[in-house]
């Protein structure tokens, strides 16, 4: 796995605010935060915009240091870099997503 | 201590006793809490003081110590990532009979100060928002919308 992440130190607060100012990017961030990692194609499947449009939003989020991109084979996979949102909010995003996954397994087990 | 809390509630169409078997026993927790859970020592029954190792679904190893057990209703434990033992959090899992089955509640709390909330690039803006974000059981969309509203004055300043 090769890493091609935007450096968290490279973006300033302006980039973070600009990235969070768009509702589509907030929606993407929410979805990325709920999964260990995800591709642009998977994200586009749930949205009324093209994969190309999703990629542009992802580039803004990566430029702000809010997500990280990793190339796995031919795929670019994205994951949340929650530290850019602050440690407390980052913890909430990671921990909330982890409990969502756990309770999904529990529901399947009891179903 | 400034607590930072995540709460998740779900309702399942299963009897209370079946739900408790997955919450209050080591064998049950091993089926969903992570990819594996092993109690330390020979004891196979969870009790206050029981120590376990959990491999979470992303492969990280966590240590768990049971701190509270109300048989059939609630279990509490402290756990931490083996790679970051200074950041322990408290988890409570509860079951309650519901009309169509069982309501299961999971709560995880950590001391915000232990997260280093005073540091980080954007976190100077965040502490005031944290209480607002954690006060209610919100969806992620609502949380991010609230966060964005907190940032609105700053967004205006930078012309967004």
Closest CA to A31 of B6, B151, B140: B140
Residue written as token pair 């190309």: A52
- Asked whether the beta carbons of residue B141 and residue A14 sit closer than 8 angstroms, the reply is no
- Asked whether the beta carbons of residue A105 and residue B125 sit closer than 8 angstroms, the reply is no
Nearest CA in chain B to A25: B144
Closest CA to A13 of B128, B153, B133: B153
Judging contacts by C-beta atoms under 8 Å, the chain B residues touching residue A12 are 121
- Asked whether the beta carbons of residue A20 and residue B151 sit closer than 8 angstroms, the reply is yes
**Is A107 near chain B, with CB under 8 Å?**
yes
Q: pLDDT tens digit string along A53-73?
A: 999 999 999 988 889 999 988
Whether the complex's predicted ipTM is more than 0.90 is answered with no
* Residues in contact with A12: Cβ distance below 8 Å, sequence separation at least 6, in sequence order: B121
Judging contacts by C-beta atoms under 8 Å, the chain B residues touching residue A28 are none
Q: Residue B32 in contact with residue B44, Cβ under 8 Å?
A: no
Of A14, A30, A91, the CB nearest to B110: A91
**Is A86 near chain B, with CB under 8 Å?**
yes
Q: pLDDT tens digit string along B96-142?
A: 999 889 999 999 998 766 665 333 333 433 443 444 454 445 566 66
Q: How many H helices and E strands in chain A? A: 5, 4
Q: pLDDT tens digit string along A7-19?
A: 344 455 567 767 8
Q: How far apart are CA A29 and CA A39, in angstroms?
A: 13
Positions of chain B with pLDDT under 50: 117-132, 134-136, 153-160
Q: Taken in order B33, A5, B112, A16, is the CA torsion positive or negative?
A: negative
Our CA angle for A106, A36, B55, nearest 5°, is 55
């Amino acid at each position: 796995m090769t890493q091609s992440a935007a450096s968290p130190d490279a973006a300033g607060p302006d980039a973070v605010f600009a990235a969070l100012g768009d509702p589509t990017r907030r929606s993407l961030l929410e979805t990325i935060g709920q999964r260990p990692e995800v591709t642009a194609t998977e994200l586009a499947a749930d949205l009324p915009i093209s994969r190309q449009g999703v990629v542009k939003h992802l580039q803004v989020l990566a430029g702000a240091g809010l997500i990280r991109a990793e190339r796995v084979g031919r795929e670019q996979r994205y994951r949340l870099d929650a530290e850019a949102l602050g440690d407390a909010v980052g913890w909430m995003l990671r921990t909330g997503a982890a409990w969502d996954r756990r309770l999904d397994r529990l529901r399947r087990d009891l179903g | 201590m400034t607590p930072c809390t995540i709460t998740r509630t779900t309702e399942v169409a299963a009897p209370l006793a079946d739900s408790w078997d997955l919450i209050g026993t080591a064998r049950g927790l091993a089926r969903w809490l992570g990819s594996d859970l092993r109690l330390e020592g020979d004891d196979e029954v969870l009790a206050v003081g029981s120590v376990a190792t959990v491999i979470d679904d992303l492969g990280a190893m966590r240590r768990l110590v049971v701190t509270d057990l109300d048989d059939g209703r609630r279990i509490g434990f402290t756990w931490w990532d083996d790679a970051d033992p200074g950041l322990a959090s408290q988890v409570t899992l509860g079951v309650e009979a519901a009309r169509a089955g069982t309501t299961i509640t999971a709560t995880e709390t950590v001391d915000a100060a232990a997260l280093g909330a005073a540091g980080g690039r954007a976190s100077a803006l965040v502490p005031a928002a944290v209480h607002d974000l954690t006060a209610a059981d919100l969806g992620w969309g609502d949380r991010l919308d609230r966060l964005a509203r907190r940032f609105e004055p700053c967004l205006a300043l930078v012309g967004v």
